[in-house]
Amino acid sequence: MNDLSEILNGRELSRQDIVRLLSPLNKREHCQILEKGYEVKENAIGRKTYLRGLIEFSNFCRKDCLYCGIRCGNIKAGRYSMSDDEILQCVELASRNRINGVVLQSGEMVNSYFIKRVSSIIKRIRKVTNDEFRVTLSLGEQSPETYREWFDAGAQRYLLRIETSSEELYRRIHPDDELHRYELRLKCLEKIKETGYQTGTGVMIGLPFQTVENLADDLLFIKRMDIDMVGMGPYVEHFDTPLYGYKDLLLPIMDRFDLSVRMIAVLRIMMPFINIASAAALEALVPMGREFGLKAGANVLMPNLTPVIYRKQYLLYENKPYIDIETEEVLESLDRRINMIGEEIAYDDYGDSKHFRMRKHIKQYQ
């Protein structure tokens, strides 16, 4: 037994253990961690992969995050907003393919027209699917009232990545103004949880200036916040963003990829019952990247249902996968891709976070 086995099979992971697991290791040790991540996932959830259809319905954004391709300062990004009917067509496509949940994602907007519109879309989705559908929102920082309004309209899950749990690093990758405050983001995440959503967060991995200690703290943050679902993936540079200027500081592609899947594995070991998505950004670095994520312990895949005509304009980072492959084609190949790695797609299954159910259950008896 080597010392890694001791860490992996022993007590709760300490910060020091996590740092060790995320630090450079040889290939065999790296695989040992991924295998453990998958073993924990298999025992807690089974060999099942849950699907959610991703709808990137608008790329208008008021934020100016230094890493993101659709930041408002990027005048090269053509802007679009899908119509309600187009969004509902995506929902229909999901239903036809036995995917009973979607993620509504867009740039961050807070005006009252946007807020009302989202409420009405949520209600229409619930209606056309006879309430047999899960709606996840990924619409950024909003007021507590807005989180409540959308929850009451019928959305059950909310995803707000903290991006990094280090306030100092957060400041380095965002403009220094009132719109981009770490504290506010944290407050929003807390509000989302308080409102009653299945709560999701996540971070980017391999950012310039980011250390292994930062990443260990990210995982501890996720654990401390008792998060139900996580989407985290590698940082992928985008040419038309200020952070591109630091590309020479980045880890080589393969190292960034390995670190990202290792983060998934370690998080799975720490939190066996949460939902972890295998991020599309993994595939921007390595072909079949998302399958590797699943084999490290992720259990959710979010096929992109956004119509191909808009997909090119929702470029958060370069090399985005499936940019011009029709949705039907992607969905058709999904079964094969998932079966190939020994997993099965859990069709017609909401795939609610088991962790969320356990959390609610415990609360009931407190």
Binding region for ligand 5AD (CB under 6 A): 67-68, 161, 163, 204, 235-236, 238, 281, 316-317
| Cα within 13 Å of Cα(147), Cβ side | 23
Nearer to ligand 5AD, 40 or 204 (CB): 204
Instruction: Report, in Å, the least distance between residue 318 CB and ligand 5AD.
Output: 8
Tokens 């998934």 found at: 264
Nearer to ligand 5AD, 146 or 260 (CB): 260
Instruction: Report, in Å, the least distance between residue 2 CB and ligand 5AD.
Output: 33
H helix intervals, 302-341 = 308-311, 327-340
Instruction: Report, in Å, the least distance between residue 186 CB and ligand 5AD.
Output: 14
Tokens 């959308």 found at: 150
Instruction: Report, in Å, the least distance between residue 204 CB and ligand 5AD.
Output: 5
Q: How far is CA 196 from the centre of its chain?
A: 19
Tokens 């990094």 found at: 164
Nearer to ligand 5AD, 38 or 114 (CB): 114
Residue 160: name the closest of 173, 175, 147, 179 by CA: 147
Nearer to ligand 5AD, 40 or 289 (CB): 289
Nearer to ligand 5AD, 227 or 236 (CB): 236
Instruction: Report, in Å, the least distance between residue 253 CB and ligand 5AD.
Output: 13
How far is CA 362 from each of CA 199, 296, 358, rounded to the nearest angstrom?
16, 28, 6
Between strands 53-58 and 101-106, the pairing is: parallel
Nearer to ligand 5AD, 50 or 67 (CB): 67
Tokens 């989705």 found at: 125
Token representation of residue 285: 């670095």
Cβ(112)–Cβ(78) under 8 Å? no
Nearer to ligand 5AD, 101 or 107 (CB): 107
Instruction: Report, in Å, the least distance between residue 203 CB and ligand 5AD.
Output: 7
Instruction: Report, in Å, the least distance between residue 161 CB and ligand 5AD.
Output: 4
321 class by beta-carbon count within 10 Å (0-12 exposed, 13-18 middle, 19+ buried): middle
Nearer to ligand 5AD, 40 or 70 (CB): 70
Cβ(183)–Cβ(165) under 8 Å? no
Token representation of residue 124: 């229409």
Element (H, E) at 197: none
Nearer to ligand 5AD, 161 or 180 (CB): 161
Cβ(298)–Cβ(353) under 8 Å? no
| Cα within 13 Å of Cα(269), Cβ side | 26
Instruction: Report, in Å, the least distance between residue 277 CB and ligand 5AD.
Output: 11
Instruction: Report, in Å, the least distance between residue 19 CB and ligand 5AD.
Output: 22
316 class by beta-carbon count within 10 Å (0-12 exposed, 13-18 middle, 19+ buried): buried
